[in-house]
Structures are given as structure tokens and as C-alpha cells.
């Protein structure tokens, strides 16, 4: 199988299976990440599809200065903000508690987050300021380190550290008000 960078190299060499594997591995995570920003599943599906089309058609160069996952999430974030600029009038907030279900009926939230505690945590995070959601999602659900989150969000490592501190504090307050305890925060 190999890692994601190897899968992408295989795709660039003509093996379409490499891109299919990347999509299979990262589709749900990217969907939850993008939906946390735009809060509209229809727009989210368009943006995630556009992210993978960018890989397939434009074939951007992966230089290896960061992990492939960091690079892919940075592309998705850029595609998200470009989409939001073009369609600002169309984007509308969904209810925070709405399940994230794709047009084909797939419950992305349940499939990706797996545990009830993580689902509740993700729902609470969706009610936070956009940057707070992004930094928490990237670091705790995607597994990026401070440097990776900084690359995706176009911030310094120090800014990410400060943002993470404030995001955790805000989430902790929100969870405590709801009577929910989560040890990692």
C-alpha cells in the first residue's frame, strides 16, 4: 500500500489507484473539516470534490516539506476559502446539531469519529469560532502537530499555540456548561 506521498507519486506516474486510495483514506476527515468551516453539507461536498479534482487535474507538486496530510488539508482549506469568496451570498449556516450526512446517505460524522464521546466533542466544537474549530480539529482529529496546523492555517507555530490555548479554554467552558466532561482538555 505505502504512505500517502507514495500513493500520490504512483498516481502522478499513471496509477489511478493511488489517487483512489488517497480519496478513500481522507474523504471523511476532509468532509468534517470543511463542513466545520462552511456549515453546509452541499457546499462541503462540492469543496471536497474540488480538492480531489485539483489533485487529479492540476497535479500540484508535493515538495515533502511537510506531511502529505498537512499539504492535503492546506489545499482543502484554500479551496474552501476560495469557494466562500465566490459563493458568499449562497453560504448559510446549518443548525449546529445537524448530522453530517452526504447526499448518498453516508453518515460521515459517525463513520469518521467512531465513538460517542468524539461525536459529542465534535458537535460542541462546531459551535466554536471558525479558527478555534480548525485548530482543534486539525490537531485532535486529524493528528497534525503544531507545525502542521500552522502550515494548513497559514499561521506561525506561536500563533497556533496561542490559538489552541484559547480554543481549548472556550471548548472546556462550553462542555462544562453542557455538563459534559472530556479528560483530554
Tens of pLDDT along the chain (185 residues) come to 459 999 999 999 999 999 999 999 999 999 999 998 888 899 999 999 999 999 999 999 999 889 999 999 999 999 999 998 887 644 444 433 444 555 555 555 555 555 566 777 777 888 898 899 999 999 988 999 999 999 999 999 999 999 999 999 999 888 888 776 655 54
Q: Whole-model pTM?
A: 0.74
Query: Do 131 and 175 have their domain in common?
Result: yes
Query: Do 39 and 54 have their domain in common?
Result: yes
Helix axes 157-177, 146-153, angle to 10 degrees: 100
Q: Which of 139, 128, 183, 130 is nearest to 164 (CA)?
A: 139
What is the pLDDT at residue 94? Answer: 40
| Residue 161: alpha-carbon gap to chain centroid | 18
Residue owning grid cell 455538563 = 179
Q: Which of 54, 39, 49 is nearest to 90 (CA)?
A: 39
Cα(36)–Cα(18) distance, rounded to whole angstroms?
27
Query: Do 88 and 152 have their domain in common?
Result: no
Query: Do 78 and 134 have their domain in common?
Result: no
8-36 tens-digit pLDDT = 999 999 999 999 999 999 999 999 999 98
Query: Do 100 and 17 have their domain in common?
Result: yes
Q: Which of 84, 98, 120 is nearest to 41 (CA)?
A: 98
Domain span holding position 145: 115-185
What is the pLDDT at residue 19? Answer: 96
Query: Do 90 and 162 have their domain in common?
Result: no
CB-CB contact of 147 with 155 (8 Å): no
Max Cα-Cα span within the chain: 53
Query: Do 120 and 108 have their domain in common?
Result: no
Q: What is the CATH number of the domain that holds 71?
A: 1.10.1740.10
Judged by phi (left if over 0) then psi (alpha if -120 to 50, else beta), residue 110 lies in: alpha
Q: How many domains would you assign to the chain? A: 2
Report phi then psi at 101, rounded to 5.
-115, 125
Query: Do 95 and 120 have their domain in common?
Result: no
Cα(48)–Cα(78) distance, rounded to whole angstroms?
11
Query: Do 47 and 73 have their domain in common?
Result: yes
Final residue before a domain boundary, out of 93, 113, 133: 113
Cα(14)–Cα(49) distance, rounded to whole angstroms?
20
Amino acid at each position: 500500500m505505502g504512505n500517502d506521498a507514495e500513493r500520490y507519486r504512483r498516481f502522478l506516474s499513471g496509477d489511478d489507484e493511488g489517487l483512489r486510495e488517497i480519496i478513500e483514506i481522507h474523504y471523511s476527515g476532509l468532509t468534517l473539516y470543511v463542513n466545520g468551516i462552511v456549515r453546509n453539507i452541499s457546499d462541503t461536498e462540492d469543496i471536497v470534490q474540488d480538492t480531489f479534482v485539483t489533485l487529479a487535474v492540476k497535479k500540484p507538486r508535493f515538495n515533502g516539506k511537510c506531511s502529505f496530510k498537512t499539504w492535503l488539508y492546506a489545499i482543502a482549506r484554500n479551496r474552501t476559502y476560495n469557494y466562500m469568496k465566490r459563493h458568499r451570498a449562497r453560504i448559510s449556516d446549518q443548525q449546529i446539531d445537524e448530522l453530517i450526512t452526504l447526499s448518498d446517505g453516508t453518515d460521515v460524522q459517525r463513520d469518521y469519529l467512531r465513538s460517542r464521546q468524539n461525536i459529542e466533542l465534535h458537535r460542541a466544537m462546531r459551535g466554536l469560532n471558525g479558527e478555534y474549530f480548525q485548530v482543534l480539529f486539525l490537531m485532535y482529529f486529524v493528528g497534525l502537530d503544531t507545525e502542521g496546523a500552522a502550515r494548513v492555517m497559514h499561521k506561525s507555530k506561536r500563533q497556533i499555540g496561542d490559538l489552541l490555548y484559547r480554543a481549548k479554554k472556550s471548548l472546556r467552558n462550553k462542555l462544562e456548561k453542557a455538563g459534559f466532561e472530556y479528560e483530554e482538555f
